[in-house]
Structure 1
């Protein structure tokens, strides 16, 4: 099968399997509004997604955006909202409608999908580097703090609290870290998607001074092995331009793009 055929097959599987409850396993509340899924997460975070918008025109899109924004404005506990768009969707006028409603466009990412088997070949680690799965609260908070630092964000408890809540649910999520010289130098999580062949790899972060040594590829391979152990045969991820080439070398294909738009309460 050609890469073009694989991309088409993967994109159909993505739309059918990964744009439903699979996107929001840690949601506190999901409200269906027409085609939209209006999601509430911990710590005042809202999230808008959908499987598709149907045969809409620009006026319908503008109305949906206005109604979704009004929904969150009326929820005093919500302080910020992400609207997740996809490059292959039929959504005329969505970009402009979001800007008019106070959303700000973020950097686009690549939607990557591939066979777990292609990623699972072991990658040699540099001397002194080891991989392990973590679940204890202290380890989870240390992992989350390291990721915040790598992504240039203030260290906060928000992601750690969300990860600990997910672990308490026992839904199969796994957290993996690479360690060297007594510190975590790379980390990422694996999220198996119930009822599908998919597992997602997310949160990949490596300290700058440890990049270029194959650590992230090794961490990806280990998560792919864990996915196969769970019976998952497909891997998906939203990838930055830093990690996309690494995933492509491991066999994943770019099937589309996703661009978040962010609204913050004044």
Structure 2
């Protein structure tokens, strides 16, 4: 895998061309951003500008979102320019989140692993999607209402763009994850991938991972991507995912 080429493809197909359900995409010569209809959920998707302009552009975006009373995330990759973006964001009051590994799997080289489809429920309606989000809320805490609205709108208006899966135990959702597709992009993305503490160690994460790898392959995607936490990284590495960059999110200061 030529990681530089993969990252360039990813920038073009995924960071510049984003789904805008439950919000709007806005782009100029400096960056691409998603502006959510909810207070949370907006983010800077792609950026590229001269280092001398970092301070002014960061302040422009703060003013833009402040005017709309919206919180937003500025997501960075270790391959991005300008390289001083992190320090400028911190100097302007952003909070740095934990870094994750942006990892890519070449699906043509992926080995099929068996999984029990009977343990997996694909959810498509508001109740099922709410169950998927309830798992995320229990695992991570915080406000996930924006994510619920995003997935619900995506499933309603572009159902082929997302597959959402839940594992239930005694009728309670204990694991959830989803798989996204973006038009003609060669990339599919796996997100969520979380299990409530009481049910970890039972193979549910790997179950949904194997399911999503199989689906992405069957639908003709070339690459599968994940932002892997330290907990997920060794699991997906065993399946052939390779680290292409380190990604770090910065959340805007509360106003």
TM-score normalised per structure 1: 0.86
Alpha-carbon distance, 1:147 to partner: 1.7
Q: What residue number does 1:223 align with?
A: 212
Q: Could you tell me which of 33, 38, 45 is aligned with 1:38?
A: 33
Q: Work out the CA distance in 2 between the residues paired with 1:98 and 1:227.
A: 35
Give the alignment of 1:1-266 within 5 angstroms: 5-22=1-18, 24-26=19-21, 28-45=23-40, 46-50=42-46, 52-54=47-49, 56-57=50-51, 59-76=52-69, 78=70, 80-119=71-110, 121-124=112-115, 130-153=119-142, 157-172=145-160, 173-266=162-255
Q: Which runs of 5+ in 1 are unaligned?
A: none
- Give the direction of change, closer, same or farther, for the CA distance of 1:185–1:118 in structure 2 (3 Å limit): farther
The DSSP-based 3-state class of the residue aligned with 1:114 is: strand
Deviations 1:151-188 (A, max 9, x none): 2336x644322221111112421101222333222110
Alpha-carbon distance, 1:136 to partner: 2.2
Q: Work out the CA distance in 1 between the residues paired with 2:124 and 2:151.
A: 9
Alpha-carbon distance, 1:6 to partner: 4.0
Deviations 1:72-119 (A, max 9, x none): 12224x2x1111111111213212221222211111111011123555
- Give the root-mean-square deviation of aligned CA atoms: 2.2
Greater mean alpha carbon deviation, residues 31-40 or residues 166-175: 31-40
Alpha-carbon distance, 1:13 to partner: 2.4
Q: Work out the CA distance in 1 between the residues paired with 2:26 and 2:12.
A: 20
Q: Which runs of 5+ in 2 are unaligned?
A: none
Q: Work out the CA distance in 1 between the residues paired with 2:8 and 2:84.
A: 24
Deviations 1:14-53 (A, max 9, x none): 223221123x443522232431123211312331122x41
Q: Work out the CA distance in 1 between the residues paired with 2:121 and 2:9.
A: 31
Q: Work out the CA distance in 2 between the residues paired with 1:213 and 1:117.
A: 28
Kept in 2, the 8 Å contact 1:189–1:201? The answer is yes
Alpha-carbon distance, 1:251 to partner: 0.8
Kept in 2, the 8 Å contact 1:110–1:257? The answer is yes
- Give the direction of change, closer, same or farther, for the CA distance of 1:132–1:63 in structure 2 (3 Å limit): same
